[in-house]
Amino acid sequence: MAEAYVTLAEAAELEGVKYKTMAQRLSRKKQAFETKTEKSETGGRDVVLVAVSSLSKQARNAWKEREKLKSFTEEVPEGQEAAEQKPEVPWYVNMDIDWYIENYKERYYKAVELGNVVRKFLQYDEGDRTKYAEEFAQKHLGNGQRTLYRYTKAYLEASAWADKLQKEDGAGYEFFKVLCLCRKPKETGCFPSIKPEVKQVIKNIWFNEDFARNQGTREMLYEKLTAIANINLKAGMTEWEKIPSYQTVVRYINYLMEDENMRNAYFLASRGTREYKNKVMVKGSRDTKGLQVMQIVMGDEHTFDCWVSYKQPNGKVIAIKPHLAAWVDMRSRVIMGDVLCKDANSDILKQSLLKMIYSEPGGVPEYLYIDNGKDYTAKTMTGRDRNDRSGLNFDNETQGFYKSIGIKDDHRALPYEPWSKGQIERFFRTVCNKFTRWMKSYTGTLTGSKTSDKVEKDIKRMLERGELLTLEEFYEKWHEWLTTVYMHTEHSGLKKMGETYKKPYDCFMNEDRYFKAAPPKSYATMLMMKSENVLVRNIGITKWGYEYRSDELCDYIGRKVDIKYDPDDMAVLYVFDQKGKRICEAYCQELLQIAPKVTQKALEEHLKMQKRQQKRDRERLEEARRPFEELNEQYVGFNEATGGIDLMIGGKKQDKAAKVIAMPKDRTYQQGFRAEKREDDEQDSEYMSRQAENALKKLRAIGV
């Protein structure tokens, strides 16, 4: 085999010394090195080449490993496989050294010590190397020379790779010499016993929406996989002849869920988009410190997780879960406008808003951030329909209740996304944990996903024994906790925002505040009334089976008007025209009964109203028919001057009808059926009376 030569610079690199040091060695021990010279291709001094056999054992081994790597960059000859020509890239070439040290710190530092042993062995360059290797291995490793040779080969190969890559990009790769002596990290997720088509079928079954929603088990999946394999075998697919074991399939599923980060995808398939957004989807945080106090308030309703006694209008006492309507200032987290009720609706919401406006702490906010529920987004509240606007309300109902009381605008939270109104939802959780759980009638949260969240209580028996608080008593406890505990306790949200004042009440009273004057209370009271558009009939306004009448309504028969009414006082309707002008107050009338059961008072009032209406309309008609000559003397004789033309064409009306009648031919009528009684009948009657009196006197005389 021909002798191989390297340049003096390459020899210094193989020996691990500087170029100047290698040149000095060559000049001092010329007989120890076999050299030759070649002319330089660029001209100048001749190039000195050193035989590889003259170098140390360590340098010779490094040169051999380097020569092996040269084939890695050479072109593959035709007809040969790349694997036969190019050496396999070691695992540590593409390894992240920081990740390896973090996860396998003990292995790495053991390899550092082992590298020192290998370098010490490579420096030996004397005779009887085999015997020395055996003794060296036993002394430093406790193993045979084969183990030492394996470490040495790996070390030299790593050195060659480090030199090669350093020449390519100039970076340092000395850590290769340590990693080559480490154990390769165990590869996970390979599962060689599971073929690609089987892996895909396992994924298709496990992540199937119906299978996941029904909480299908791994046993069910393996049964289905076995059935699919049998079907494919019958179809002639031999690759399905052997399927992995149940344990292997379970490990593969666990690998998908943990290492491949498919757990959230499985949650989406099993729970649906709504719960996925609520529990898993990433959320953002709002910068509430940039807001003014009362600039944005957030509203919602909450059902307490406890029971109270409630007296219904009919006097019956029942157990209910009270509802809370409240608003939270997003800057200070102060709770305002708290109203407790049996069932929350738009009227309760109005009361809550008005309480917030006219109470302290409170005021008129600039914007509302409201729930997507129908009570908050009703057209009478926002001034716009949830879909398309239809129909017509009047005055401030068209504008909407929110804007009528001075609120600039409202923003609606997205449906089924409670995190979009996180401040009020966070408060409700605090209410449950810090207040409701102290109630004896606490039965657990309604939204709890675990059975353990429910607390069994015999609410019916507690109601019978009088152990439940009344709604009024419960409100007293609630108001005391809200004003004395919550308002004056440091809030974690205020701490997170870096607020100067950590307590809600202090932050509300001391930070920069949005201010807008509240409307008069009388106006707010009017806004609390309900409004409708109704038709005026000739019997008045019909509502709830009753009739409402007023003299002023007579002019609007057959036309539509707007009404306002107080739900707690249905005796009177406040009537307005389409332009918002007040017409009258219509009062509920007692229905007239069928005669002769009509009460005298009701009938008299009804007849009087009819007469007033008729009189008023006759006066208006006479006023409209007055001739010009009566209005002004200058128009006297107007009709004569114009020829006396009538407006309507027709025959002249006779002054008086002729007094002519036709006598009936009925004999009975002709004989005096309707004539007065005759005088002889009267005489006969007097005679009989006298005879009766005489007979009566005789009977008295004889004592009868």
Quick one: residue 215, left, alpha or beta (phi over 0 = left, psi -120 to 50 = alpha)?
A: left
Provide CATH 1.10.10 ranges for the chain: 5-85
Is residue 557 a contact partner of residue 588, using CB atoms and an 8 Å limit?
no
- pLDDT tens column, 316-365: 999 999 999 999 998 999 999 999 988 877 778 878 888 888 888 888 89
Q: How many CB atoms lie within 10 A of CB 270?
A: 17
Give the model's pLDDT for residue 280: 78
State the CB neighbour count (10 A cutoff) for residue 477. Answer: 13
Q: Please give the full DSSP string across 407-458, using - where no structure is assigned.
A: --EEEEPPTT-GGGGHHHHHHHHHHHHHTGGGSTT--B-TT-SSGGGB----
Q: Which residues of the chain have pLDDT under 70?
A: 1-2, 43-44, 65-66, 68-87, 125-126, 188-189, 283-286, 371-400, 411-421, 446-452, 522, 525, 567-569, 590-604, 606-607, 610, 624-685, 703-704
For the four alpha carbons of 25, 29, 32 and 35, in that order, the dihedral sign comes to: positive
Tell me the CA distances in angstroms from 234 to 78, 221, 225, 242, one per residue in order.
Answer: 43, 20, 14, 13
Question: Which one-letter amino acid corresponds to residue 416?
Answer: Y
CA distance 533 to 562: 4
Amino acid (one-letter) located at 277:
K
Residues 362 and 328 sit within 8 Å (Cβ to Cβ): no
In the chain, CATH 3.30.420.10 sits at 288-510
Q: Is 298 helix (H, G, I), strand (E, B) or coil?
A: strand
- The Cα 381–Cα 368 span in angstroms is 12
Tell me the residue type at 273: T
Q: Are strands 323-329 and 296-303 parallel, antiparallel or unpaired?
A: antiparallel
Angstrom distances, CA of residue 49 to CA of 11, 26, 150, 380, 538: 9, 11, 31, 99, 126
**Which pLDDT score is estimated for 210?**
92
Predicted pLDDT at 481: 95
Residues 6+ apart with CB under 8 A from 638: 627, 628, 629
H or E element, residue 111: helix 105-122
pLDDT reported for residue 634: 53
Nearest to 435 by CA among 479, 393, 387: 479
Q: Identity (one letter) of the amino acid at 288?
A: T
288-510 has which fold?
A: Nucleotidyltransferase; domain 5 (3.30.420)
Report the C-alpha gap between 475 and 359 in whole angstroms: 17
- Degrees, nearest 5: CA angle 699-701-704: 45
Residue 54 φ/ψ, nearest 5 degrees = -80, -10
Whole-number Cα distances in Å, 418 to 112, 414, 652: 55, 8, 84
Contacts of 393 (CB under 8 A, 6+ apart): 379, 380, 531, 533, 562
pLDDT at site 593: 44
CB 473 within 8 A of CB 322: no
Residue 7: phi, psi to the nearest 5?
-70, 165
Assess contact for 141 and 117: CB atoms under 8 A. yes
Which of the 8 DSSP states describes residue 372? S
Going by the DSSP 8-state scheme, the letter that residue 304 receives in this structure is -
Q: What CATH number does domain 5-85 carry, 3.30.70, 1.10.238, 1.10.10, 2.60.40?
A: 1.10.10
Phi/psi at 136 (nearest 5 deg)?
-65, -40
